[in-house]
Amino acid sequence: MDKEYLESLKKQFQYYKMLGDKTIDQLNDNELLWQYNSESNSIAIMVNHLWGNMMSRWTDFLVSDGEKEWRSRDLEFEDDVIKSKKELINKWEKGWQCLFEALNSINKENFETIIYIRNQGHTIIEAINRQLSHYSYHIGQIVFVGRMIKGNDWKSLSIPKGRSSDYNNEKFSKEKSKIHFTDEMLNNKK
């Protein structure tokens, strides 16, 4: 088992969670429920889908199929499931908690376990990478919708427009070091 790789994956998940956290923090109840049109997903719908996916994929991660019988995926996309920011945050946190508990259960004794999702076998790394890609896709959508809603009031989640030179100058003024790119961001969450 490559412990360093697993730690890097955990940091990637933390990074995407942070992007979602910082987007959700900027929005009120109505903004989280806003839909561009009837065919588009609100942030609340996307969070509900992520929650459903996380609970299904990561509950009993090592011993049961990742597509649980109790999951109702189609209902995750209904626009009236989450009605408030408080409800949204509760589901968001519960999903991430389930994911991180599952990741923390991986060790050298169970690392060779084959993980099934809809009866398709995955190595643990394949299963994790599949979910990392899926979550980053939807969190990118969440950030995009949040940015559209806030317009000029949007607080940048990365390097603000027109500030790349300042950012690079600050980075290159430091000694070279071996750190994960998320370490500084995750240590300065708020």
Average pLDDT over residues 83-111: 97
pLDDT surpassing 70 at residue 50? yes
Question: For residue 85, what pLDDT band results from cuts at 50, 70 and 90?
Answer: very high
- pTM equals 0.91
Give the pLDDT of residue 1: 63
Give the pLDDT of residue 168: 87
pLDDT surpassing 80 at residue 130? yes
With contact defined as beta carbons under 8 Å apart, do 147 and 31 qualify?
Answer: no
Number of structural domains the chain divides into:
1
d(CA 72, CA 56): 10
Find the domain containing 113 and state its range.
3-187
Question: For residue 119, what pLDDT band results from cuts at 50, 70 and 90?
Answer: very high
Mean pLDDT (the chain, rounded): 93
d(CA 23, CA 29): 13
d(CA 49, CA 73): 7
The CATH number linked to 28 is 1.20.120.450
List pLDDT tens digits, range 4-48: 999 999 999 999 999 999 999 999 999 999 999 999 999 999 999
Nearest to 3 by CA among 141, 139, 106, 144: 106
More confident residue, 185 or 74: 74
